[in-house]
């Protein structure tokens, strides 16, 4: 199975979720991506210039 690509639309939510201490697995499962792609965004390897979102989507899984 091929790893799904991170799109610029995903990045603000990923960044905000990590700022809120939401774990990589929960973020990855929401987008059906590999946790490594979440790490790539968090570490600035993908889309470093896109800022975090101001809020999470309504359907984002809560703790």
The model's confidence at residue 62, banded by pLDDT at 50, 70 and 90, is confident
Give pTM, 2 decimals. 0.92
The model's confidence at residue 1, banded by pLDDT at 50, 70 and 90, is low
Instruction: Write 34-37 long-range contacts (CB < 8 A, 24+).
Output: 34/3, 34/4, 36/3, 37/3, 37/4, 37/5, 37/6
Residue 50 backbone class (left: φ over 0; alpha: ψ -120 to 50; beta: rest): beta
Amino acid 21: pLDDT: 96
State pLDDT tens for residues 7-57. 999 999 999 999 999 999 999 999 999 999 999 999 999 999 999 999 999
Amino acid 24: pLDDT: 96
Q: Which residues contact 25 (CB under 8 A, 6 or more apart)?
A: 35
Distance between CA atoms of residues 12 and 16, nearest Å: 6
């Amino acid at each position: 199975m091929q790893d799904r690509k991170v799109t610029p639309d995903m990045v603000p939510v990923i960044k905000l979720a990590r700022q809120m201490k939401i774990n990589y697995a929960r973020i990855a499962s929401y987008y059906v991506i590999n946790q490594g792609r979440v790490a790539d965004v968090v570490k600035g390897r993908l889309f470093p210039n896109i800022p975090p979102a101001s809020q999470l989507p309504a359907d984002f899984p809560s703790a």
